[in-house]
Amino acid sequence: MSTSAIRPAHDPSEWGPSIDEAVHVVQRGGLVVLPTDTVYGIGADAFNPDAVSALLAAKGRGRQMPPPVLVGSLATLDGLATEVPDDARALATHFWPGALTLILTAQPSLAWDLGETFGTVALRMPDHPTALALLARTGPMAVSSANRTGSPAALTAQDAHAQLGVSVMVYLDAGLAPGGVASTIVDATGPVLRVVRPGAITLAELNAVAPVEDVPVVEAPVDDASGDDAPVDGAQDDAPVALVPDGDAPVDAPDAAASSSPAPAEASPDGEDAPG
């Protein structure tokens, strides 16, 4: 019979055993709940297709809303994405860790299956010490908001446990999540960078670093780890971003943003699927 546990993860001087346990779970293909700078997210090893499938099943959603990927270091960018525009790199350098999700062309050689991403990946580096401590040891994680699809994003580990139960083995409890505004999502897969979902970082702030356009797009789901139906960045942000090719109908999901260029399906703890 499956079991789950809520572990303390607020104080760096005491969270060692909790992080150790969470790392062990992720490495074995299990699911964990982690705090982010927006809401709590549910995470899995991004390179374990069975674990990603389990994440989607725990939330009650399909492959058409793939989760975004949270990273613990800017150095991971080139390992996960290819042909990264200089302007996108400048934005990541300036705003990571923080409330910026970048949609990029995924490295074609990567052995992962996040769902129907159309060759793209939504990346974010969360500004939360517990999340970064975990990511530093697990590597990139697929993360969506820690809630069942259609339900409010979790602001505490206890809220997440009430919705996800024993589908998650370890819940890292860092207290009340800040909630707030979802991450800003920038599509960097086309000839120009453009905002496909406004968020915590304004267009003016982006343009102070690199040229970014605010171009209206056909709505499509975005999964943040700020929330489902709400951006984790998920309930707000960390929700995966879903972009659909021209002519495709938008994926039905609460948090969404679309692009005329092919892009990923869900965005996480970067709305829904996307913490962060």
Under a CB-based contact definition with an 8 Å cutoff, are residues 196 and 46 in contact? no
DSSP H/E element including 6: strand 5-8
CATH number at 173 reads 3.90.870.10
Phi, psi of 107 (to 5 degrees): -60, 120
Q: H helices within the chain, ranges in order? A: 16-27, 49-59, 77-80, 86-95, 129-138, 157-164, 203-207
Q: pLDDT at position 274, please? A: 55
Give the count of domains, the chain.
1
Q: pLDDT at position 252, please? A: 25
Q: pLDDT at position 224, please? A: 55
Instruction: Look up residue 76 and give its DSSP letter.
Output: G
User: What residue numbers bound the domain in which 162 lies?
Assistant: 5-273
What is the distance between the alpha carbons of residues 98 and 121, in angstroms, rounded to a whole number?
17
The per-residue pLDDT string of the chain (276 residues; one tens digit each, 9 = 90 and over) reads 578 999 999 999 999 999 999 999 999 999 999 999 999 999 999 999 999 999 999 999 888 788 999 999 999 999 999 999 999 999 999 999 999 999 999 999 887 888 777 789 999 999 999 999 999 999 999 999 999 999 999 999 999 999 999 999 999 999 999 998 889 999 999 999 999 999 999 999 999 999 999 975 544 444 555 444 333 444 334 444 444 333 322 222 223 333 333 434 344 444 455 565
**pTM here?**
0.82
Under a CB-based contact definition with an 8 Å cutoff, are residues 232 and 273 in contact? yes
Under a CB-based contact definition with an 8 Å cutoff, are residues 144 and 266 in contact? yes
* Among 208, 181, 217, 26, CA closest to 103: 217
* Straight-line distance from the first to the last Cα atom of the chain, in angstroms, rounded to the nearest whole number: 32
Under a CB-based contact definition with an 8 Å cutoff, are residues 221 and 239 in contact? no
The number of residues in the chain equals 276
Edge-to-edge strands, sheet with 238-241: 238-241, 222-225, 272-273
What is the distance between the alpha carbons of residues 239 and 236, in angstroms, rounded to a whole number?
7
Beta-ladder partners of 171: 6, 33
